[in-house]
């Protein structure tokens, strides 16, 4: 158990809809990273938050946004969903200055 909790585990929705994915980092970790993993692909970095502040942005679409709350949990909002957004979305956390160490088990998003 990595200590990182992601909800929901599965999400099926229609094109054009909006969804929110939630991540609770490992206790004590201030950094939260979001990744997208399409079928049989590596991970694409989306965004990194540290202690409530955005630290870095990767290949994140304008239709996607995220935030980290004072209790350190994070949410990834995906809007105007398209079929190509279907993927596994992972959250990872780490302590200061460390690489993403602890990954959640992901949210599998299916857009129909």
Partner 1 sequence: GQQLNQSPQSMFIQEGEDVSMNCTSSSIFNTWLWYKQDPGEGPVLLIALYKAGELTSNGRLTAQFGITRKDSFLNISASIPSDVGIYFCAGRSLSDSNYQLIWGAGTKLIIKP
Secondary structure letter of residue 59 according to DSSP: S
| Stretch touching partner 1 by CB under 8 A, among 13-21, 56-64, 67-75, 78-86 | 56-64
Task: Lay out the site mask for partner 1 across 10-49 (x = CB under 8 A, - = otherwise).
Answer: ---------------------x-x------xxxxxx--x-
CB–CB of 73/24 below 8 Å?
Answer: yes
CB–CB of 102/41 below 8 Å?
Answer: no
Pick one of 17, 55, 69, 95: the residue that binds partner 1 (CB under 8 A).
55
* Least distance in angstroms from the C-beta of 40 to partner 1: 8
Nearby residues of 1 by Cβ (< 8 Å), 6 or more positions away: none
């Amino acid at each position: 158990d990595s200590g990182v909790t992601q909800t929901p585990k599965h999400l099926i929705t229609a094109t054009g809809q909006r969804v929110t994915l939630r991540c609770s980092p490992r206790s004590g970790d201030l950094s939260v990273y979001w990744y997208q993993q399409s079928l049989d692909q590596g991970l694409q970095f989306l965004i990194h938050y540290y202690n409530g502040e955005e630290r870095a942005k990767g290949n994140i679409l304008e239709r996607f946004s995220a935030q980290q709350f004072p209790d350190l949990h994070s949410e990834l909002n995906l809007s105007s969903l398209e079929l190509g957004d279907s993927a596994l979305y992972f959250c990872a956390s780490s302590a200061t200055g460390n690489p993403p160490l602890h990954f959640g088990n992901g949210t599998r998003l299916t857009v129909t």
